[in-house]
Structure 1
Amino acid sequence: MKKLQIVLLIFLTTLIIISCQNKTSKAPVLIEDIDLIRGNITLCGSQDFGETSFGLSTNKDVKEKFDLALSLLHSFEYQEAEKAFVQVIDEDPQCVMAYWGVAMSNFHSLWLQSGSDYLEKGSKILAAAKPLPKTERENDYLEAIAAFYTNWESLDRNTRINKFEEKMKTVYEKYDQDKEAAIFYALALRASADPGDKTYKKQLESGKILESIFPNQPNHPGIAHYLIHNYDYPELAKHALPTARRYAQIAPSSAHAQHMPSHIFTRLGLWDESIQSNLNSTAAALCYSESIDPNGHWDEELHGMDYLVYAYLQMGKDKEAIEQYNYLKTFKKVFPENFKVAYAAAAIPSRIALETKDWKTAANLQLPQLNINWHDYPWQKAIIYFSRALGAINTNNLRQAQTDLDTLMMLRDQLLQVKDDYKANQVQIQIKTVQAWISMVEQNESEAIQLMTEAVEMEENTAKHPVTPGEVLPAGELLGDLYLRIQNPEAALEAYEKDLKSHPNRFNGLYGAAIAAQKSGDKEKAERYFTLLLNLAPESDRIEINEARNYLKMQ
């Protein structure tokens, strides 16, 4: 009897353990339970996005759909890429690389995304792929992108991107004949690059890999695209000029491919080419948004508009820049709500007011009325308050300038709280600039120069964020302006000339250098800079152009 009781006890205990295990084990993730983007793929223009080939072992139709999805992914056409990958899953649920493609489409490698929905989706799609049969190569690709999504609740973005880079390096080294592995590893290097590293170590390493395979794949969109991102710096831009002039031809139907060359054109001061690039890009983006939502505007359109306004202003084409701003003011709905939209919306009116020295307008700027939550974008909000502060200083309203300065400090602290050191540093540069100009108005010249010099050094030691064509006003140029204001034209000329090396062909930089040279008694340089200015903007009706004409006539 006692033995029977023991046997029954063991049996019941086993049942309880099994029952508990069943309760705690995770149910399989079903593809139907994931909020995937579905629908017809929206393609504008010639529907040409370049040539890619991953080498899938599947039927021809699925393979072609996958390669289209891959091409869209390489040009950051993320929404349509996800649609295409999902269509592959629907046609061939065993195609594990399509699950990888969805995860990659939700990983915007160079952009900081808001919220956690994309992280949850990426984690779920990878979980759905886990039990599927796969080759060793496919498993390695999945594990690489999984490194970005694993423990996203507890690990910060930079840590996860670095883990992705480490995994992609392993894939790259393991499959040395796999060109897609090389390309995605190059992207991972660029994504994990430290924005404070002015040696550009990772960008150069990435560029070297891409350049080695570009000759054999001249129509691959990812190679051209990532080369431009790697060299989107004043010191490196010249290396990407031939590629910039090719990328739009490789993927003519991609709004982003039409826009990306302007990153290099902007770095080199090639304003005509930048304008044409962004006119093409915004037209393609508008075509896309009208197909998706006729009442809305796609983020890529606003991104292109910011670069377009910047280029117009450098050529003194203020009317065209203002037309873009007036057009922006008609926008009621933008999609998706993200940092690119917020940046362009804040930068466009700020650039116009500051570049044209319309200080009254600058002092009265307000946050644009768009359907975005500005609380989520302190860096972008700071652009408006920085512009307001400079406007207030130049209209002798120090009380407002101090209020706007306090707001800038609050926005910097918000960024520090979320450990976004890069953007906090950008706002700190603005803070020092405003403090410098307040000190100048208060006739504390030595403090003004010190603060402005510190702002310049901080800006020089920080890489440009890919979202922007450039600062709304470069600190080096503002240092030149400050020296002119305190009657030190020799120092002003030195500051302008130094800034023009990293910001070539800027209208106000050339004008400032011409004035500083003229006041310094350097007629040769004054004539050279006035001539450059006149050649840059011969049709502009700005007073600076009339001044240049009059000076050159006198000579």
Structure 2
Amino acid sequence: MRKVLNKVSELLCVFLLVFVSCREKNKAPTSEAINSMNLKVGEIPFCGPADKQFGAVGFGTSCSEKIQKEFELALALLHSFEYDEAEKMFAKVIDLAPDCMMAYWGVAMCNYHPLWAPPSQSELKKGSKAIIIAKSLTSKSKRESDYLDAIASFYKNWDKIDHRTRSLRFEKAMEVIYKEYQNDKEAAIFYALSLIAAANPADKTFENQRKAGSILNELYRQEPNHPGVVHYIIHAYDSPELAENALLAARQYASIAPSSAHALHMPSHIFTRLGLWSESVKSNLESIASAQCYAEQTGIKGHWDEELHGLDYLVYAYLQKGENVLAKKECDYLQSIQVANPVNFKVAYAFAAVPARYLLENKLWKEAAGLQIQKTNVNWNDYPWQRAILHFARLLGSIHIGNLDSARVELKQLNSIHDILVNQKDEYKANQVLIQIKASEAWLLFKEGQEDEALKLLYVAADMEDKTEKHPVTPGEVMPARELLGDMLLQMDKSAEALIAYEADLKKHPNRFNGLYGAGLAAEKSNQIERAAFYYRKLIAIANSPGASRPELEAAKMFIKKKGALYSTIR
């Protein structure tokens, strides 16, 4: 109750400051009201070529023409999810033209970040203050008022109404704007973004994503250099079923906004979906270099969060190419990082997933069983979902080295984390941990000799995972449940069934190293020599760099040398 009263009091103060200013001048809010937002300020770092930076946008406003260039740069940054830098530019616009209502709209948009984690309490307060100030300004068009009302619908009663409900309100408000202002390209772009943000992760028809993609593809013909258009096409089609539709946009986005580390990284979402590992490596190497440039120019303490996000995708791509040496090098580099800023869900995920992924994919079970949480500036109590990855890795490691007691201890931790997420009403992450729990229980049952029960439970886990989309923060599950099912079936000498499991997994995770090898091995063991040759050849083609070194790769090459020479395709 006290928190609610404090919030009301704080916002009332902003309102009074604005009200007094408007009565006196009817032009601009007081400096006290503006300062109360505590906006980010500073110079914008440019880490790309001088002729291209963040793409081209056009957005007419009723604000002074003298700030149009700054406003459109802020908007371009917003479209590439460079939220801190966009806020800095909107703050500059406010400094130059404090009566520019759309600059306050921009501040509110910067603190929403719809496809990332929900805004923090401080971000929600900042966005609310910006809206109060914006609503006090009289020099705005009806179109601008409609834009403001749309984002205001997201912030309204944020302390009482859940994030998803408020995101759905924003989507409905943007739909009205999209239909009313049919020649307003930005309305169409932001409506498409709102559709993607409001999509149900369990909807395998991808209704919202397809609708957004249709809108954006039509705009793409008119605005091929607009950062938001190509960026949101990638997000709309970021699923195995739709990814092919975004390949052209993925290959273009980096050249449109080369100063944005996120723009350089984002194409790798599609490359990962399609198993284009070399392109993913290139994308993330460029993104990491840009993120390091950004940190240096802005004086960030430690490492920027975008660098760690890129590292996670980079290590994943190296592992699929069999590039263990390079993957290990990046893992060691991550281990050297003690401070990352800002501390958020991306940072915590990278710290947890990268080492777990390396050990599990290489089946280094002993090392996985002893995996420790890295000592950094992350408060792991704030990130239960990410912390679950470490317990899951230790559990799988313990099971495979025969230490079932330790595995059961880790299972208790997973159950505890699941309860935390349920209590937090975070349905998606709770479900992700539940999949890990069911897969873990299945492996425990298997090791205890209860094979039928183990298989039933692991099929349930795999089906659950198939029905749920991965979170955009991750290139993929640290160990896909259906791949684990294939591994279990192989250990049960059920090779034909294992092949079915691996092939199903490869449809969702194309060109995964362990999926290809598992499919080849299962086909070999079930005497499907032609099919085994197909998968082994595909593995060899994917892991074709000079540095690729995995025992599975050598086994595949040996098979082809001895038995596969006559089989190059599946009839």
| 1:385–1:408 Cα contact (<8 Å) kept | yes
Question: Distance between the aligned counterparts of 1:294 and 1:153, measured in 2?
Answer: 31
Worse-superposed segment, 106-115 or 377-386: 106-115
Worse-superposed segment, 139-148 or 286-295: 286-295
Q: Which has the larger radius of gyration?
A: 1
| 1:148–1:160 Cα contact (<8 Å) kept | yes
Question: Distance between the aligned counterparts of 2:261 and 2:283, measured in 1?
Answer: 10
**Which of 67, 79, 99 is matched with 1:94 structurally?**
99
Question: Distance between the aligned counterparts of 2:48 and 2:236, measured in 1?
Answer: 28
**Which of 56, 66, 70 is matched with 2:71 structurally?**
66
1:112 — aligned with what?
117
Query: Where do residues 317-396 of structure 1 align in structure 2 (5 Å cutoff)?
Result: 317-396=323-402
In the TM superposition, residue 347 of structure 1 has moved relative to its aligned partner by: 0.4
2:42 counterpart letter in structure 1: G
The total of aligned residue pairs comes to: 533
Question: Distance between the aligned counterparts of 1:387 and 1:553, measured in 2?
Answer: 35
**Which of 548, 552, 555 is matched with 2:560 structurally?**
552
Worse-superposed segment, 521-530 or 65-74: 521-530
3-state SS, counterpart of residue 418 of structure 2: helix
| 1:113–1:338 Cα contact (<8 Å) kept | no
3-state SS, counterpart of residue 439 of structure 1: helix
2:84 — aligned with what?
79
| 2:238–2:269 Cα contact (<8 Å) kept | yes
| 2:300–2:341 Cα contact (<8 Å) kept | no
3-state SS, counterpart of residue 378 of structure 2: coil
For the pair 1:31 / 2:31, whether they are aligned, the reply is: no
1:14 — aligned with what?
none
Question: Distance between the aligned counterparts of 1:412 and 1:434, measured in 2?
Answer: 13
1:44 — aligned with what?
47
In the TM superposition, residue 291 of structure 1 has moved relative to its aligned partner by: 1.4
In the TM superposition, residue 532 of structure 1 has moved relative to its aligned partner by: 1.2
Question: Distance between the aligned counterparts of 1:45 and 1:211, measured in 2?
Answer: 26
1:132 — aligned with what?
137
3-state SS, counterpart of residue 201 of structure 2: coil
For the pair 1:206 / 2:195, whether they are aligned, the reply is: no
1:254 — aligned with what?
260
3-state SS, counterpart of residue 433 of structure 2: helix
Q: Give unpaired runs (5+ residues) of structure 1.
A: 1-22
In the TM superposition, residue 330 of structure 1 has moved relative to its aligned partner by: 1.5
1:308 — aligned with what?
314
| 2:261–2:288 Cα contact (<8 Å) kept | yes
2:463 — aligned with what?
457
Q: Residues 37-87 of structure 1, C-alpha deviation per residue, up to 9 Å, x if partnerless?
A: 112222222261000010124444410000000000000000000000000
Question: Distance between the aligned counterparts of 2:538 and 2:233, measured in 1?
Answer: 30
Question: Distance between the aligned counterparts of 2:332 and 2:13, measured in 1?
Answer: 58
| 1:28–1:128 Cα contact (<8 Å) kept | no
In the TM superposition, residue 24 of structure 1 has moved relative to its aligned partner by: 10
3-state SS, counterpart of residue 521 of structure 2: helix
1:160 — aligned with what?
166
| 2:319–2:361 Cα contact (<8 Å) kept | yes
| 1:534–1:549 Cα contact (<8 Å) kept | yes
Query: Where do residues 511-526 of structure 1 align in structure 2 (5 Å cutoff)?
Result: 511-526=517-532
3-state SS, counterpart of residue 16 of structure 2: coil
3-state SS, counterpart of residue 285 of structure 1: helix
Question: Distance between the aligned counterparts of 2:65 and 2:559, measured in 1?
Answer: 68
Question: Distance between the aligned counterparts of 1:322 and 1:549, measured in 2?
Answer: 23
2:386 counterpart letter in structure 1: Q
2:26 — aligned with what?
none
Q: Give unpaired runs (5+ residues) of structure 2.
A: 1-11, 19-32, 564-571
1:268 — aligned with what?
274
| 1:71–1:221 Cα contact (<8 Å) kept | yes
| 1:114–1:338 Cα contact (<8 Å) kept | no
In the TM superposition, residue 534 of structure 1 has moved relative to its aligned partner by: 1.4
For the pair 1:485 / 2:488, whether they are aligned, the reply is: no
| 1:73–1:81 Cα contact (<8 Å) kept | yes
1:8 — aligned with what?
none
Query: Where do residues 168-317 of structure 1 align in structure 2 (5 Å cutoff)?
Result: 168-293=174-299, 295-317=301-323
In the TM superposition, residue 234 of structure 1 has moved relative to its aligned partner by: 0.3
Question: Distance between the aligned counterparts of 2:488 and 2:313, measured in 1?
Answer: 26
Q: Residues 426-450 of structure 1, C-alpha deviation per residue, up to 9 Å, x if partnerless?
A: 0000001111111111110001100
1:541 counterpart letter in structure 2: S
3-state SS, counterpart of residue 130 of structure 1: helix
| 1:113–1:339 Cα contact (<8 Å) kept | no
3-state SS, counterpart of residue 235 of structure 1: coil
Query: Where do residues 428-443 of structure 1 align in structure 2 (5 Å cutoff)?
Result: 428-443=434-449
| 1:158–1:192 Cα contact (<8 Å) kept | yes
In the TM superposition, residue 125 of structure 1 has moved relative to its aligned partner by: 0.9
| 2:47–2:258 Cα contact (<8 Å) kept | no
| 2:15–2:133 Cα contact (<8 Å) kept | no
Question: Distance between the aligned counterparts of 1:25 and 1:259, measured in 2?
Answer: 39
In the TM superposition, residue 32 of structure 1 has moved relative to its aligned partner by: 1.9
| 1:75–1:225 Cα contact (<8 Å) kept | yes
| 2:61–2:144 Cα contact (<8 Å) kept | no
Q: Which runs of 4+ in 1 moved over 6 A?
A: none
In the TM superposition, residue 33 of structure 1 has moved relative to its aligned partner by: 1.8
In the TM superposition, residue 549 of structure 1 has moved relative to its aligned partner by: 1.6
3-state SS, counterpart of residue 54 of structure 1: coil
Question: Distance between the aligned counterparts of 2:441 and 2:354, measured in 1?
Answer: 24
Question: Distance between the aligned counterparts of 2:118 and 2:481, measured in 1?
Answer: 28
Identity of aligned residues (%): 53
Question: Distance between the aligned counterparts of 2:115 and 2:106, measured in 1?
Answer: 17
| 1:261–1:274 Cα contact (<8 Å) kept | yes
Question: Distance between the aligned counterparts of 2:137 and 2:471, measured in 1?
Answer: 39
| 1:228–1:240 Cα contact (<8 Å) kept | yes
1:16 — aligned with what?
none
CA 1:526/1:203 → structure 2, altered by over 3 Å: closer, same or farther? same
Question: Distance between the aligned counterparts of 1:25 and 1:407, measured in 2?
Answer: 45
Question: Distance between the aligned counterparts of 2:468 and 2:301, measured in 1?
Answer: 38
In the TM superposition, residue 136 of structure 1 has moved relative to its aligned partner by: 0.6
| 1:251–1:257 Cα contact (<8 Å) kept | yes
Question: Distance between the aligned counterparts of 2:123 and 2:300, measured in 1?
Answer: 25
2:485 counterpart letter in structure 1: L
TM-score (norm 2): 0.92
